Amino acid sequence: MRKPWSAAALAAVVLAVAACASSSSTSSSPPAAATAAASSSASSPAASMVLFRTIQGRSVLTNSNGFTLYWFSADTSTTSKCTGSCASYWPPVPGPLTAGPGVTGTLGTITRPDGTIQATYDGHPLYTYVGDSAPGQNKGNGINDPGGIWHEMTVTGRIVAPAAAVSVVPASSPPAVPASSPAPAPVTPTATPKPTHAPAPAPSTSAPGGGYGY
């Protein structure tokens, strides 16, 4: 005949089973710190590195996808003047950035009016340009916007003037129509006056000597 389990023995068995289940759950779940680190690593954008490439013989900064970076002459080292609709044509580059090989300037950040963080290079807030449809293009270099001129960001920070500055007109604005100049009034030629001559004197009909013959 089997003896019934005592209350103490039953309690010991229950505790042992609970400990086993807890150990199994802990070993199968990754540590919280490791999970957070993996998540942070996966969410780090590749575009956070700034590189450079040679465009038209110049060393120009690009993002990691090869798109040219620009700066705006109206900006200051602490303030971006490109906001609102301007930022839809010239997207600000999020900061901070990491310098790639050959990038020797000083990287930094500013806080934009909307509270977002924008990357800077040698004190210039950085942008890309929606008109560049492929890596290696620099169609924004030299564009003259109201308030300032856009320049490609070179490794040295030196301004390189483009062949000819162009103006950008937002897609929503109608193209400007040049005013036509009035046609010049026709010039009426002035007739040259003909010279007038005094009439020749009539020949005399009187004979010499009074007409008597003697």
- Angle, CA of 94, 148 and 162, to the nearest 5°: 90
Residue 158 lies in a domain: yes
Rounded mean pLDDT of the chain? Answer: 74
Residue 158 confidence (pLDDT): 80
* Nearest alpha-carbon partner for 97 in 141, 151, 46, 138: 46
pLDDT grade for 159, boundaries at 50, 70 and 90: confident
| pLDDT band at residue 28 under the 50/70/90 scheme | very low
Query: Is residue 208 included in any domain, yes or no?
Result: no
**Sorting pLDDT into bands at 50, 70 and 90, what band is 65?**
very high
Whether 209 maps to a domain, the answer reads: no
Percent of the chain scored above 70 by pLDDT? 52
Residue 110 has pLDDT above 70, yes or no: yes
pTM for this entry: 0.57
Number of domains in the chain: 1
Across residues 134-144, what is the average pLDDT? 96
Structure letter (DSSP) for residue 211 = G
Phi, psi dihedral angles at 57 (to 5 degrees): 80, 5
What mean pLDDT is predicted for residues 148-172? Answer: 69
Residue 49 near residue 100 (C-beta atoms within 8 A): yes
- Domain span including residue 130: 46-166
- Per-residue model confidence as pLDDT tens digits over 189-211: 665 555 555 555 555 544 444 44
Calculate the CA dihedral of residues 40, 42, 45, 49 and round it to 10 degrees.
Answer: 90
Judge whether 201 lies within some domain.
Answer: no
Residue 188: inside a domain, yes or no?
Answer: no
pLDDT for residue 73 is more than 60: yes
Domain assignment of residue 149, yes or no = yes
Structural domain includes residue 59? yes
Specify the pLDDT at position 202: 57
Task: Kindly tell me if the per-residue pLDDT of 11 is higher than 60.
Answer: no
Task: Report pLDDT for 179.
Answer: 54
> Does residue 194 fall inside a structural domain?
no
Q: How confident is the model at residue 127 (pLDDT cuts 50, 70, 90)?
A: very high
